[in-house]
Structure 1
Amino acid sequence: MKELISKADVLLEALPYLQRFRNQTFVVKYGGSFMDSTDPEVRSGVARDVVFLEAAGINPVVVHGGGKAITRAMEVSGTKANFIQGQRVTDEATVKVVDQVLSNQINPEVVATIKSLGGFAKGFAGTEIFTCRKLWLTGPAGEQIDIGFVGEVIAVNTAPLLECISQGITPVISPTALGEDGHVYNCNADVAAAQTAIALKAKRLVFMSDVPGLMRNPKDESTLISHLRTGEVADLKKAGIVDKGMIPKVDSAVAAIKSGVDKVSFIDGRVQHSMLLEVFTNSGIGTEVVL
């Protein structure tokens, strides 16, 4: 009987969140090594949470990554991956591999997994949804560095996404985009997810990866920053706590918050039901970013 009562307590704890978030849009950035896991429970765990959100009356929108799968595909084709300042150098041959892996391999897999668990999903190549401008890096002497077909999302075609939401279908989007020159570009999935959240006026933005959240010492999980205000970010950058791959993630979070998203969360997709723990419990998990 005690076990049954404890289950009821869990449901009651979730009740105010279920009431608050019903009919709200949540954008989920789906990435990390858990996508490559050989354990089917790990691979399907995030998708199961997405299906739960659907069932709870929340409107999830998924933007997925796939960097490791791209690197593997390049190795098979005999092309070596090259990175500058954490950004993949993407020539014409590489962008074709990127587009193939993200839009024609990973995207259908994510859609199929959600459907296999009883959910509703529709896949979109990022080129159908995102418009971008070419991204230039800045070198140590202030010079511009050309890294090829790498773009920064500047516009989101919300019409097909809103159509899906109105029908209770989860859009699943790859992080490619159409450039102003008509070419396909590889884009940072964190930035794409944030721009999607802003364009859809989402309630929440959730970044799922394979780390517990933002930590003061990346090698020590006890240094996890559980609560972060946007005004603290500049000092964390100066201290080197936010650097490399975390910079676009945190910058995107700040942009989303300043554009009206209530809260941004960085959570570990390897933890079973981490998204549900973050959304439907009082304590939450990972790092939450607020204004």
Structure 2
Amino acid sequence: MAESIVVKCGGSTLKELSDSFFLSMKLLKDINITPIIVHGGGPEINALLNKLEVSSEFVNGLRKTTLEVLEVAEMVLTGKVNKAIVTKLQKAGLTSIGISGCDASLLKALPINKAQLGFVGQVTDVNSEFLQQLISLNIVPVIAPIGIDDEGNHYNINADTAAGAVAESIHAKKMIFVTDVPGILKNNELQKVVTVTEINEMINDGTIYGGMIPKVKAAIKCLQGNIEEVYIINGKGGNLMAGGELVGTKIVKVKELVTAESVKS
């Protein structure tokens, strides 16, 4: 099977994803790396909730999901947002299919805390065999983070959580975290490789501040299991590939030490 890489697209960046982003996904596929896209859709969900006058609140950063809120979230995520991404991928020359975690029980889930959060789920299992079948057919999966349990109940799942679970299930070693910034900047210079320790130091000294803090923290959360590298890239413009490499900041657990002896070997 070809190598796969999980691409997490946050809801706040979806409208700003450029044509070059989707062409970059095609370039990945051309070098035998299949992107698996997991997306959010918070702003679109908010807009429809407001339009329908459905009240919604956040508890510890997660949207409390009543059945009414769930219905709206599922409508937006599996319908409007999911199919918009599929359309743009196919325009870029990729055969793509939009699915939710309910299809083929892709994302099995259970409630995190039903009393506090309602139908907000945590992933308990991923149908990786189904993903492998799609990839073997040269299909790029686009996944909406709605999960399902054995009784057929549906759950709203945080997109970062869903992306991490998918990556772990297929033993991916890399993830791409798509945002609206080019990466981590220090003294106006793009940092090509940073460790988790260095990021924490930059948060403490104010180099990373404001809205960038939750972005890098979400990316760090993805460094679990087999995942060794997470790239923060800009989805808004510019060619994301340069010589076959992703342009942005690569976050690693620990930097490899390059010594004279290792170079000789």
Instruction: Give the TM-score, by structure 2 length.
Output: 0.80
Unmatched runs of 5 consecutive residues or more in structure 2: 255-265
Which runs of structure 2 are paired with 1:68-147 in the superposition (5 Å)?
A: 68-128=43-103, 129-136=106-113, 146-147=116-117
The AA in structure 2 aligned to 1:132 is: A
User: How far off its partner does 1:199 sit?
Assistant: 0.7
User: How far off its partner does 1:235 sit?
Assistant: 6.8
Of residues 25, 28, 48, the one that matches 2:7 is: 28
Aligned alpha-carbon RMSD (Å) = 3.0
Q: Helix, strand or coil for the counterpart of 1:254? A: coil
Which runs of structure 2 are paired with 1:219-258 in the superposition (5 Å)?
A: 222=188, 226-230=192-196, 244=214, 246-251=216-221, 253-255=222-224
Question: Greater helix share, 1 or 2?
Answer: 1
User: How far off its partner does 1:23 sit?
Assistant: 2.8
| Bigger mean CA offset, 236-245 vs 223-232 | 236-245
Task: Tell me how far apart the structure 2 counterparts of residues 249 and 151 of structure 1 sit (CA, whole Å).
Answer: 20
The AA in structure 1 aligned to 2:95 is: F
Contact 2:175 2:230 in 1 (8 A): yes
Of residues 243, 248, 251, the one that matches 1:285 is: 248
Q: Helix, strand or coil for the counterpart of 2:119? A: strand
Partner of 2:237: 271
User: How far off its partner does 1:233 sit?
Assistant: 6.8
Task: Tell me how far apart the structure 2 counterparts of residues 223 and 177 of structure 1 sit (CA, whole Å).
Answer: 40
Which runs of structure 2 are paired with 1:177-192 in the superposition (5 Å)?
A: 177-179=147-149, 182-192=152-162
Partner of 2:263: none
User: How far off its partner does 1:116 sit?
Assistant: 1.8
Contact 1:191 1:248 in 2 (8 A): no
Partner of 2:262: none
Partner of 1:211: 181
Contact 2:12 2:41 in 1 (8 A): no
Is the alpha carbon distance of 1:145 and 1:273 closer, same or farther for their aligned partners in structure 2, counting shifts above 3 Å? farther
User: How far off its partner does 1:30 sit?
Assistant: 1.8
- How much identity, in percent, do the aligned residues show? 27
Task: Tell me how far apart the structure 1 counterparts of residues 213 and 24 of structure 2 sit (CA, whole Å).
Answer: 30
Residues 71-111 of structure 1: per-residue CA shift (max 9 Å, x gap): 11111111233222221121110011011110122112211
The AA in structure 1 aligned to 2:223 is: V
Task: Tell me how far apart the structure 2 counterparts of residues 179 and 233 of structure 1 sit (CA, whole Å).
Answer: 37
Instruction: Give the TM-score, by structure 1 length.
Output: 0.74
Task: Tell me how far apart the structure 2 counterparts of residues 237 and 288 of structure 1 sit (CA, whole Å).
Answer: 14
The AA in structure 1 aligned to 2:249 is: G
Partner of 1:170: 140
Task: Tell me how far apart the structure 1 counterparts of residues 67 and 217 of structure 2 sit (CA, whole Å).
Answer: 26
Contact 2:4 2:172 in 1 (8 A): yes
Contact 1:91 1:149 in 2 (8 A): yes
Q: Helix, strand or coil for the counterpart of 1:194? A: helix
Is the alpha carbon distance of 1:190 and 1:290 closer, same or farther for their aligned partners in structure 2, counting shifts above 3 Å? same
The count of residues paired between Structure 1 and Structure 2 equals: 248
Unmatched runs of 5 consecutive residues or more in structure 1: 1-21, 137-143
Partner of 1:8: none
Partner of 2:261: none
